[in-house]
Structure 1
Amino acid sequence: MADWELRLASVADVEAVAELRAVVLRPDLERLGRYDEQRVRQRLRDGFTPAHTWVIEVGGDAAGCVALRPAKDAYWLEHFYLDPDLQGRGIGSAVLSRLLEWCDREDAVVRLNVLQGSSARRLYERHGFTVETEDEVDVFMVRHPFVQLAEAVDPRAERVRAPSAGVSRPGARPVTDDSRRSSCRTDFA
């Protein structure tokens, strides 16, 4: 897997992210008969919130993005796109794991929607998302936080997920202690 980092998005990233969305979603939207060259980009522009969005960088270049938008009872995982040339290399899974580890520590529910027939659904299912509802276009999924097994109850029990040393509240300052960084560090860490 290539080294990757997340950096907080800025307003200047919106057009690159809109273009990436169009490239990534085109096959699924065309299959569903819903691809519109302008609309696919405009929907991203209309919902782009830099404060809740990170750009995925691989080798120092922008290669994807992901948003984690707070809502009343959950976080919404949105705009999770990775350059098609980098898909299948474990980067998306690693980014998602890092975000979900933070959500688990916050005891936060995460929701998302994915297009019907999208291969991304398998990624989400591998990370604990289950189908809540669906329609002819979208599948709405939810993931409840993993509970750590109490060692006091069974000292032989292993944790379901070990906490990551480099994750804290999204939007927080970057970690400055290099001993806490990995090759897959995040800037919301």
Structure 2
Amino acid sequence: MNIALRNTTQSDADALVAIRIAAMRESLERIGRFDAQRARERFLASFDPALCRFIEVDGVQSGFILIRPQEDHWLLDHFYILPEHQGKGIGAAVLQAVFANADVQRMPIRLGALRGSDSNRFYQRYGFIPTDEAEWDIFYVRQPGEPKQIS
């Protein structure tokens, strides 16, 4: 499996929204909060193509990631894998690459996950610790580990 991260542009916004909706739809429907227009508007309101990357697996768009660097942490603001590509280790591989960079820079990673979403188990499995909860989200942090030595 060959995973690559490809830059996005403003013209990719509709494709990114479609990925976000496809990835979140089941979780949002489960809690009665699915609204495609709201999902679109929330994403586009803060979309920065300079921070966003398509996740491609063997040349096929499989998801995207958007990380917002802050002064004292990185905010993993969006991380979606299309449902048909989930469970294949793609998210784990991308997350491990993010961890490697964050560890070198000694940066914690913060994120919010929709309450009731399978993503909560995923993030906890990879060392994210819950820090706070809101009506619809659970917030997490992962502290930097020791950078891995490449031999």
Q: Say whether the fold is shared (TM-score over 0.5).
A: yes
Which structure has greater strand proportion?
2
Q: 1:96, 1:56 → 2: CA distance?
A: 11
Alignment of 1:59-138 (within 5 A): 59-138=58-137
- How high is the TM-score relative to the length of structure 2? 0.93
Which structure 2 segments of 5+ residues have no match? none
Q: Say how many residue pairs are matched.
A: 151
Percent of residue pairs bearing the same amino acid type: 38
Q: 2:10, 2:3 → 1: CA distance?
A: 21
Distance 1:19 1:128, change over 3 A: same
Q: Which residue of 2 aligns with 1:185?
A: none
Is the contact made by 1:101 and 1:163 (CA closer than 8 Å) also made in structure 2?
Answer: no
Which structure 1 segments of 5+ residues have no match? 149-161, 166-189
What is the one-letter code of the residue matched to 2:144? P
What is the one-letter code of the residue matched to 2:35? D
Q: 1:75, 1:102 → 2: CA distance?
A: 11
Task: Quote the offset at 1:70 in angstroms.
Answer: 1.1
CA deviations over 1:63-116 (Å, ceiling 9, x no partner): 110011012321100210111101000011000110111000000011000001
Q: 2:81, 2:99 → 1: CA distance?
A: 17
Which structure has greater helix proportion?
2
After superposing on structure 2, the runs of 4+ consecutive aligned residues of structure 1 that deviate more than 3 Å are none
Is the contact made by 1:129 and 1:141 (CA closer than 8 Å) also made in structure 2?
Answer: yes
Alignment of 1:141-152 (within 5 A): 141-147=140-146
Q: CA RMSD in A?
A: 1.5
Distance 1:96 1:163, change over 3 A: farther
- How high is the TM-score relative to the length of structure 1? 0.75
